[in-house]
Amino acid sequence: MEPQHQHQQPHPNDDNSSGGSGKGSFLCRQSSTRWTPTTDQIRILKDLYYNNGVRSPSADQIQRISARLRQYGKIEGKNVFYWFQNHKA
């Protein structure tokens, strides 16, 4: 393990740009990929919006909704928040 660790410390890109910011940018790009809702997630969100009258869910409601929707695919609380914001507009 030590040889690998020693090999990882020098960054050849450090001369041209900071390796840390390069990695940080890469991680940001990964985490900012667009959410693609599944059909089940959309169905549930529309049901909440149109049939249950949920228009501006509280932070607690958003967490509960996203936990329920996570059964059907990847989703975060911010996705739920923005979905409701977009549907109100």
Q: What total number of domains does the chain contain?
A: 1
81 is a domain residue: yes
**pLDDT tens digit sequence for 6-23:** 444 444 444 444 445 555
| DSSP state letters, 22-87 | HHHHHHHHHHTPPP---HHHHHHHHIIIIIS--SS--HHHHHHHHHHHGGGS---HHHHHHHHHHH
Q: What is the pLDDT of residue 27?
A: 52
Domain around 80: 39-88
Q: What is the pLDDT of residue 77?
A: 97
**pLDDT tens digit sequence for 57-83:** 999 999 999 999 999 999 999 999 999
**pLDDT at residue 31 greater than cutoff 70:** no
10 is a domain residue: no
Please indicate, yes or no, whether the overall pTM of this predicted structure exceeds 0.75. no
